[in-house]
Amino acid sequence: MGEIICQTCDSTIEHFEDEKVTKLYANKCPNCANHTNENK
């Protein structure tokens, strides 16, 4: 089982099938991207 994790807020964005436990870090999840855009 693999997980995609947001670097900004550390929350799990998505799970995907994998033979071993994997953690991939994405720059920003949709939640963080929305908050960033609102602040500008």
In percent, how much of the chain has pLDDT > 70?
85
Using pLDDT thresholds of 50, 70 and 90, give the confidence band for residue 40: very low
- How many separate domains does the chain show? 1
SS3 14: strand
Does residue 20 have a pLDDT over 70?
A: yes
More confident residue, 18 or 40: 18
pLDDT tens per residue, range 2-18? 999 999 999 999 999 98
User: Does the global pTM surpass 0.75?
Assistant: no
User: Nearest CA to 29 among 39, 2, 5?
Assistant: 5
As a whole number, mean pLDDT of residues 16-22 equals: 93
Which residue range(s) make up the domain with 29? 2-39
Using CA atoms, how far apart are residues 28 and 40, in angstroms rounded to an integer?
16
